């Protein structure tokens, strides 16, 4: 392994949500060290309450909850079909996506279940297509694709979920679910390799859940979920290099090389939730406690980073309280969540290596060590008002990110510290129309405070870091103070549910 300077960085992918961030509420916790403009690629299920700022602790979302905790299917009142087309776009032509989830939920006297499937098309940002295309062969005798090639501009992902459970004596429900995904692309990864001529992604994700819901006589409920999530992607990245073949005539030749990067994360998690009514005036309160343990057996060698990464691990918690009130046709809800977390990543020596002082670092020992300490918070508030068959929703969610990084370079025998913090704002709105045989919902939200991050100018990192954007849920050890090119994310979801009589 070659010598690395102190400004070398280290990053890892944390696969959260159903597969990545924000898809299934608090059960899987997202870690971020850069204010990434991440699209809503994994918004794959219909919501009834998303327009209320994403509040979830003290209110129920009967349509969405079974996909979070499969035992919550016991709260269904019958059977229904649904479709939930979803669209998002990132400002400054940074990418967009379209998904069409369809499915069914059912409930009999003692059994309940559901299925969902989705097709998705992702389109990369226009900035990525500005990279020149060269008619040269790769090391594997494969030419990079031209900028207008269909497989380069667009990718197709497929998702499927099956859940089921039963109600036991004592008002106890248990359920299980399996979610699978065949992935041709993860949104934004192309910007991690800004100097490449072609990127081809492939992989899969799996999510397994076991849930329980206990309901007491006074409408108190206790919910529990245990889960295991697996995320596995491969990035085949082609680069065009200019090689000096004749120093006398200064003749240069284009040569293309292919690098293969693997991205693997394994997550184990547990979630507890409690709700109960307060008084007789429509108040309800709740609390959550979530634990995630993430292992990262392989972390990609992104272009923003100039060292290879080896295994890492992360530990994260959600500690939250929520309160809600329903008064006649109006509902209000507020959630407060604190997210402490830590993450350790490192690089291992590929061979015996000598540090600057002559100390021998044996093969497999750590050459770079990164230690993150997170202290994040989430505040969500929203309200809904029914007017006849119409319900109007509005709300806002604010996420505050704050972390401290300690980095040690055992080769250079140096260390550094860095602190970063920022806030992301997410106004939401929604409309629900109840008809006799169909229910139509619209949900919209916009995320601000995010963008395309880079690193402040420094000679050792400027050439690669300044223009490189970052994809969803990347935890990066920055090599200097962060910079940001603003890029908001706008999302729309229209869902239709039809009861089956």
Q: 71: how many CB neighbours lie within 10 A of its CB?
A: 29
Coil vs helix vs strand at 69:
coil
pLDDT given for residue 36 in this prediction: 67
Q: Are 442 and 497 in contact (CB under 8 A)?
A: no
pLDDT given for residue 375 in this prediction: 95
pLDDT given for residue 292 in this prediction: 95
pLDDT given for residue 11 in this prediction: 37
Of 414, 443, 485, nearest in space to 194 by CA? 485
Q: Which residues of the chain have pLDDT under 50?
A: 1-25, 128-145, 148, 150, 305-308, 454-480, 482
pLDDT given for residue 251 in this prediction: 81
pLDDT given for residue 26 in this prediction: 57
pLDDT given for residue 470 in this prediction: 29
Q: 209-247: per-residue pLDDT in tens?
A: 999 999 997 789 999 999 999 999 999 988 888 888 777
pLDDT given for residue 309 in this prediction: 54
Say what the alpha-carbon torsion angle 197, 199, 200, 206 is, to the nearest 10 degrees. Answer: 180
pLDDT given for residue 263 in this prediction: 87
- What pTM, to 2 d.p., does this model score? 0.82
Cα dihedral across residues 131, 137, 141, 145: positive or negative: positive
pLDDT given for residue 348 in this prediction: 81
pLDDT given for residue 126 in this prediction: 63
pLDDT given for residue 316 in this prediction: 94
H/E segment holding residue 464: helix 462-465
- From CA 311, how far away is CA 299, in angstroms rounded? 7
- From CA 302, how far away is CA 25, in angstroms rounded? 28
């Amino acid at each position: 392994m070659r010598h690395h300077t102190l400004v070398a960085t280290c990053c890892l992918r944390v696969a959260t949500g159903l597969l990545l961030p924000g898809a299934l509420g608090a059960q899987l916790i997202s870690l971020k060290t850069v204010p990434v403009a991440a699209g809503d690629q994994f918004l794959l299920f219909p919501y009834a309450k998303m327009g209320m700022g994403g509040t979830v602790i003290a209110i129920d979302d009967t349509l969405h909850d079974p996909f979070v905790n499969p035992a919550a299917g016991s709260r269904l009142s019958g059977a229904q079909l649904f479709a939930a087309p979803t669209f998002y776009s990132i400002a400054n032509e940074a990418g967009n996506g379209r998904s069409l989830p369809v499915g069914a939920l059912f409930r009999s006297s003692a059994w309940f279940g559901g299925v969902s499937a989705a097709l998705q098309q992702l389109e990369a940002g226009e900035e990525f297509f500005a990279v020149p295309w060269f008619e040269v062969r790769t090391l594997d005798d494969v030419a990079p694709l031209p900028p207008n090639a269909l497989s380069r501009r667009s990718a197709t992902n497929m998702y499927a979920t099956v859940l089921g459970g039963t109600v036991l004596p004592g008002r106890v429900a248990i359920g299980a679910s399996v979610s699978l995904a065949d992935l041709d692309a993860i949104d934004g990864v192309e910007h991690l390799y800004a100097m490449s001529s072609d990127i081809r992604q492939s992989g899969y994700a799996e999510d397994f859940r076991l849930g329980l819901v206990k309901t007491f006589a006074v409408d108190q409920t206790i919910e529990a979920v245990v889960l295991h999530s697996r995320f596995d992607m491969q990035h085949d990245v082609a680069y065009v290099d200019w090689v000096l073949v004749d120093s006398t005539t200064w003749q240069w030749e284009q040569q293309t090389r292919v690098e293969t990067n693997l991205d693997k994360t394994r997550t184990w998690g547990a979630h507890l939730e409690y709700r109960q009514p307060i008084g007789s005036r429509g108040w309800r309160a709740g609390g959550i406690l979530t634990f995630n343990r993430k292992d990262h057996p392989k972390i990609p060698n992104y272009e923003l980073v100039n060292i290879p990464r080896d295994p890492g691990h992360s530990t994260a918690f959600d500690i939250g309280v929520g309160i809600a009130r329903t008064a006649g046709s109006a509902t209000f809800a507020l959630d407060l969540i604190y997210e402490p977390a830590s993450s350790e990543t490192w690089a291992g020596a590929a061979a015996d290596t000598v540090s600057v002082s002559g100390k021998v670092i044996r093969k497999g020992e750590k050459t770079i060590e990164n230690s993150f300490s997170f202290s994040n918070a989430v505040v969500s508030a929203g309200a809904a008002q029914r007017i006849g068959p119409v319900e109007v929703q509005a709300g806002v969610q604010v996420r505050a990110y704050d972390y401290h990084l300690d980095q040690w370079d055992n080769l250079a025998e140096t260390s550094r510290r860095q602190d970063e913090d920022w806030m992301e704002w997410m106004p939401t709105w929604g409309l629900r129309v109840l008809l006799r045989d169909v229910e139509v919902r619209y949900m919209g939200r916009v995320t601000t405070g995010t963008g395309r991050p880079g690193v402040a100018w420094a000679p050792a990192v400027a050439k690669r870091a300044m223009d490189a954007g970052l994809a969803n849920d990347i935890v990066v050890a920055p090599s200097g103070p962060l910079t940001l090119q603003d890029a908001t994310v706008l999302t729309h979801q229209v869902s239709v549910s039809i009861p089956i009589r």
